[in-house]
Structure 1
Amino acid sequence: MTRRQRNRTGAALALTTLLTLAGTSLAPAQPTVPPTAPAPIANATVVSNFLAAVQRGDRAQVAALLHPNVRWYQPGSNALSGLKPSREAVFAMSARIHEHTARSYRITDISALSTNGSSVAVRLHFSAASPVMVLDVDNIDVFKVQDGLITEVRVHSANLYHENAFWGN
């Protein structure tokens, strides 16, 4: 080995030692991988969990999945129609539904759950009985989900005439 080669080797070794002591290395940098955050719950899962909680009558789970300022749009021109601007207003509507139907109101079928961004559309079949008539109707409800909470619901009835007659004014 020539004197020049020995000087280069010595200089490289000194530089490597210095960098190692400083916490740096000449080795190629390894890509840093940021810590993985837990995956957000899929919007469809949030809605499925909400509907399952409604079917079980699990008020705590329903409340946990509704944003406190949820906006619930109920169609028609009946006692339930109009905007419900909060979780409390939705629970008040639910209480009125159960009172009117002697707690017979049920979601009997959930199908065709479809997503588009933050929106989840679901075909639901409802049944209930009042002292004077029976409700048997399909709805398509469109839910908006943000950060794992339902922030908006728009109900679309397949038979609004029948719902208006059933719920009355």
Structure 2
Amino acid sequence: MTTKEVVTAYSVALSQGDIPTAFSHFSPDARWHQPGNHRLSGTKNGLDEIGKMLGEMMEITNGSLVVNPTGDLMSNGNFVSFPVRFSGKNGEKTIDMNGVDLFEVVNEKIVQVWLFSEDQDAEDIFWS
């Protein structure tokens, strides 16, 4: 699989709610860099921490968190850039903004993920 194919397979599985298949595309010691200054921010190490964070996100949003691609994946060596739009509801708070997810793929496994959002301050308020 190419780096783009790995990220595409992960994204498709995630969009279908197939978490085991989505996580099968990660290295067991993957790192997820969640930006911002809120309770979910920081680097998550390994699938347990990543899974816990994603589970908390779904719990906070009562399952309303949606991430949709907004453009083509672009690759440069081991890196894949994935433009997205994410939205969700947290009580009375809502979020709907663009972002970029950057994946590092090594030996056909995702080893690191960095997220970027167009308005980090608004995202911090949403997750607070």
TM-score (norm 2): 0.96
Cα distance in 1 for partners of 2:26, 2:98 equals 22
Q: Give how far 1:87 is off.
A: 1.0
Cα distance in 2 for partners of 1:141, 1:63 equals 16
**Corresponding pairs, count:** 128
- Partner in structure 1 of residue 18 of structure 2: 58
Q: Give how far 1:112 is off.
A: 3.1
Flag structure 2 segments of 5+ consecutive residues without an equivalent: none
Deviation digits for residues 116-154 of structure 1 (CA, Å, limit 9, x no counterpart): 000001101111011121110111111000111000001
- Partner in structure 2 of residue 129 of structure 1: 89
- Partner in structure 2 of residue 49 of structure 1: 9
Flag structure 1 segments of 5+ consecutive residues without an equivalent: 1-40
Choose from 25, 28, 38 the match for 1:78: 38
Choose from 110, 125, 139 the match for 2:99: 139
Say which structure, 1 or 2, has more relative contact order (CA 8 Å, 6+ apart). Answer: 2
Cα distance in 1 for partners of 2:72, 2:118 equals 15
Q: Judging by fraction of residues, say which structure has more strand.
A: 2
Cα distance in 1 for partners of 2:97, 2:69 equals 10
Q: Give how far 1:110 is off.
A: 3.9
Conserved 8 A contact 2:69-2:82: no
Choose from 39, 52, 57 the match for 1:92: 52
Q: Give how far 1:73 is off.
A: 0.3
Q: Give how far 1:72 is off.
A: 0.5
- Partner in structure 1 of residue 110 of structure 2: 150
Q: Judging by fraction of residues, say which structure has more helix.
A: 1
Choose from 98, 113, 121 the match for 1:161: 121
Q: What's the secondary structure of 1:156's corresponding residue?
A: strand
Q: Which amino acid aligns with 2:37?
A: S
> Among the aligned pairs, what percent are the same residue?
27
TM-score (norm 1): 0.73
Cα distance in 1 for partners of 2:68, 2:82 equals 13
Deviation digits for residues 64-120 of structure 1 (CA, Å, limit 9, x no counterpart): 101110011010001111000111111000110011000000113342310000000
Conserved 8 A contact 2:103-2:113: yes
Q: Which amino acid aligns with 1:42?
A: T
Cα distance in 1 for partners of 2:74, 2:30 equals 20
Deviation digits for residues 53-74 of structure 1 (CA, Å, limit 9, x no counterpart): 1111101111210111001101
* RMSD (Å) for aligned C-alpha atoms: 0.9
- Partner in structure 2 of residue 101 of structure 1: 61
